[in-house]
Amino acid sequence: MLTTVFYILSAITLATAFLTIFSRNPIHSAIYLVICFFSIAGHYLLFNAQFLAVVHIIVYSGAIMILLLFTIMLMNLNKEDEKHKSGLTILAAVASFCLVAFVLLAAFIKSMPIIEEYYVSGEDYQSIKILGQVLLDEKNGFMIPFEFASVLLLVSMIGAVLLSKKEEKISL
């Protein structure tokens, strides 16, 4: 029974992920992404990680999708009115992408398997206290990359809004 549910959730996740990427309408892409997030939360429930499933639904399906929809609405994606972006804008976008990729790569390289010490101590790995210690402990050092990535995401969202604003012509 669990295997069947897993395969169904996997099919839904993959299908909605591909539809998110290949959909021409940005609103439809956002809806497909929400469905994908819910199916990933179903995977968390299958792995008996209820806390992660609830946080995933609240954070991703709630807050981030609302911000994404506001950003899509502010960008006004009409192709007729769109001007070509300058080389400086493209260079800034590439630099931002490389910076975010560098932060994520540094976080993955710095990470090490630390689960063994929590299993040896006999503590419940599902508890919020242990999860917080694993993610944000001073010894593991995930707090600085986490905060840095959040600031980079905020700056990139502000940049997208500023790039999408129309320039007003001043006439005398």
Token representation of residue 11: 């099919």
Query: Which whole-number Å values give the CA distances from 137 to 28, 110, 122, 134, in the listed order?
Result: 39, 13, 19, 6
Average pLDDT of the segment spanning 145-151: 76
Average pLDDT of the segment spanning 150-170: 73
pLDDT at 103 over 80: yes
Q: Residue 115: exposed, middle, or buried by beta-carbon count in 10 A (0-12, 13-18, 19+)?
A: exposed
pLDDT at 6 over 90: yes
- DSSP 3-state percent helix, strand, coil across the chain (nearest 5): 75, 0, 25
pLDDT at 14: 95
Average pLDDT of the segment spanning 13-18: 94
Q: pLDDT tens digit string along 30-45?
A: 889 889 999 999 999 8
Cα separation, 66 vs 151, in Å, equals 18
pLDDT at 52: 82
pLDDT at 166 over 70: no
Q: What is the mean pLDDT of the chain?
A: 76
What share of the chain in percent tops pLDDT 70? 70
Q: pLDDT tens digit string along 46-102?
A: 888 888 888 888 888 777 777 777 777 776 655 555 566 677 887 888 888 888 888
